[in-house]
Amino acid sequence: MPLAVTSRLLAAATLAIALSACSARYQTPVAMGGDDDDAVCQSRGYAQGSPEYAACRKDRDVQRNAAIARADRRQRDLGEYMLNNPERP
């Protein structure tokens, strides 16, 4: 290959690797707001170690897991749709 083509290919591969580093698969969904669970439960007036505090933390975990499951399901449904409806531009 000519040197110009090789350098462009190398630059494109480097850029692709650099951009892929910006993505993370398992991040907290936006629906959770990125709040600190401890701070949220304490701001609701629950003392650390109390049953209400434990229930609050558990509810936050359930909400987070449900949001992650919804995001995974939407991603899977989109992939299936794209496989079943291949439209070429």
| HEC string for 63-84 | HHHHHHHHHHHHHHHHHHHHHH
Instruction: Convert the pLDDT of each residue in 26-52 to its tens digit.
Output: 555 554 556 799 999 999 999 999 999
For the chain, percent helix, then strand, then coil, each to nearest 5?
A: 70, 0, 30
Interval 45-55: pLDDT, tens: 999 999 999 99
- The whole model's pTM is what? 0.56
Q: Which residues of 36-71 are buried (b: 16+ CB within 10 A; e: fewer)?
A: ebeeebeeeebeeeeeebeebbeebeeeeeeebeeb
